[in-house]
Copies of this chain bind each other. A is one copy, B any other.
Amino acid sequence: MPPAALSREQVVERLMRAIRRFGYDGASLAELSKATGLGKSSLYHYFPAGKDDMVRAVLEHLESELEETLFAPLRARGPVRDRLERMVETLDEFYRGGREACVLGNLVLGTSRTRFRRQLASIFDQWIDALAAALVDGGVPASVARARAEDAVVRIEGALILAGAMNDIGYFGRGLKQLPSELLAPEPSRR
């Protein structure tokens, strides 16, 4: 009834919360309507093509949010160790210590697994690139940095799965805590 109680951005954020929780297939329009407080018709006003439009908007929003809070800080000047610690803090907050699932992981599975692949791959790629750049700044050989960055992202995604399955956020917290040291370890000593 009242004119635009929520900004588009707020709507998208609430959609993201629902999708990361229920997944693409599990997030019905009724659920998305409830999550945003908007009627179905209002959702179609914002996103004419329905759920797919909503997910695309969620991924666009997520991409710029991560660019701002995660990727840019990783590429910034300053002690590399601090940049990595900041990444860890940001992730810990974003995933609420391992309580929240990953939007990306959710969209890679189920019937949506190919539908948003370009956007998903792009986000993962930016993350890995930014992380690898930080590691190079930290003295890790370029040939090793990319592999380590990939491994870090792999472990974050995997830890969220295990934390969910075991109902134990320790799987996420412990892995996250070790990351900075492991990522910056001198070459021969790593494994």
Contact = CB atoms under 8 A, between A and B. Distances in A.
B165 A111 contact: no
Contacts of A154: 155, 158-159, 161-162, 171, 175
Interface stretch (A63-71, A134-142, A182-190): A182-190
Nearest to A20: B109
A153 interface: yes
Given A111-B26, A178-B191, A162 B117 contact: no
The size bracket of the interface on A is 35 or more
A181 B191 CA distance: 8
Interface stretch (A47-55, A78-86, A118-126): A118-126
16 contacts: A22-B25, A24-B26, A26-B110, A101-B108, A101-B109, A104-B161, A105-B105, A108-B161, A108-B165, A109-B161, A109-B164, A124-B166, A154-B175, A155-B158, A158-B159, A161-B161
A22 B162 contact: no
Contacts of A112: 26
A96 interface: no
Contact of A117 (B102, B111, B165, B191): B165
A156 B175 CA distance: 14
Nearest to A125: B166
A121 B167 contact: yes
A161 B124 CA distance: 11
Given A22-B25, A108-B165, 9 more contacts: A25-B26, A26-B112, A120-B165, A121-B166, A125-B166, A150-B171, A154-B171, A154-B175, A190-B190
